[in-house]
Amino acid sequence: MVGLGSYPIVTLAEARAKCVENRRTVEHGRDLRSPEMPTVAVALEKAIATREQHWRNPRTAKAWRSSVHNHAAAIIGRRVDQVSTADILAVLNPVWTTKPELGRKLRQRLAMAFRWAVAANHISTNPAGEALAGLLPRHAGTGGHFDSLPASEVPAALDTIDASAAFWSTKAAIRMLALTATRSSEVRGMRWDEIHGDVWTIPADRTKTAKPQRVPLSSTALAVLDQARTHSNNSGYVFPSQRGHQTTVEALSKLCRDQGLAGPTPGVAP
């Protein structure tokens, strides 16, 4: 037995609607006496809280929040028990094929939020889980290797990128990637205080091995840094975005695709 509210604050029609909703909740195997049903936003925060202590990059939590709040605004304020697989599909469809990397990350983050809700006994199934597998088109190249160029074609590819109208730091970051054979997250996060003469020391929190990495810089790489200094701002990043933040992997991969240097999936490894 549960209360539905006092008359006349709660009308007879409202009480009947609440009764139907409560019976539906019971039919789905949930306890009406459990704590208040959380929203998707709350579930996301709970999922982040269980993982962020293991994330080396302090910006990861911000990236999770930003992607979900920006691209899942239609469901972020709804209770987790009021979101269906169809709702998740509607959120993913606009980006799933046009921005595949963002689509995969968005689905993963939503799935984690609803997985927490399942574990906390708020819902019985994950609407962003396996039920989506047969509804979303397969990304081209999924499970394969990233696109690559023969070494002999790299100089011409870099010249093509340099000749494009893209923002200077996006072009310079891709050239630095080619010259140092590092990861794009390391180059995109490169800061001026990490450069000491002709050596770039990547801090442990940005390397795959979680150990500091020393990268020798060739004269050509140093020339890229000289160019970057002429555009330097107060962000501290060597290759900042136009807004002064860290350049995104999407910016790098989009530039490669726009210049015909990558296939349907991003050609620059994150």
Q: How many CA atoms lie within 13 A of 93 on its CB side?
A: 8
Mean pLDDT for each 10-residue chunk of the chain (270 residues)? 76 87 74 74 93 81 92 93 92 89 91 91 87 74 62 89 92 94 92 94 85 93 94 88 87 87 48
Number of H helices, E strands in the chain: 10, 3
Q: Name which of 84, 172, 150, 142 is nearest 266 in CA terms.
A: 142
Query: CA 200 to CA 108: how far, in whole Å?
Result: 33
> What does the pLDDT read at residue 121?
85
d(CA 42, CA 137): 29
CA nearest to 254, candidates 268, 244, 243: 268
The residues, ordered by sequence, that sit 6+ positions from 192 with a Cβ below 8 Å of its Cβ are: 232, 236, 237, 238
Task: Give the pLDDT score at 169.
Answer: 92
pLDDT of residue 18: 84
pLDDT of residue 269: 40
pLDDT at 257: 85
Helix (H, G, I), strand (E, B) or coil at 155: helix
Q: Which long-range contacts (CB under 8 A, 24 or more apart) does 240-249 make?
A: 240/169, 241/167, 241/169, 242/167, 246/59, 246/188, 246/189, 247/169, 247/170, 247/173, 247/188, 248/188, 249/101, 249/184, 249/185, 249/188
Tell me 146's DSSP state.
Answer: P
- Would you tell me how many other CB atoms lie within 10 Å of the CB of residue 146? 14
Rounded to whole angstroms, how far apart are CA atoms 81 and 87? 12
191: which strand partners? 237
pLDDT at position 139 is: 63
Return d(Cα 111, Cα 128) in angstroms, integer: 5
DSSP 225-263: HHHHHTT--TT-BSSB-TTSSBPPHHHHHHHHHHTT-S-
Whole-angstrom Cα distance, residue 190 to residue 224?
13
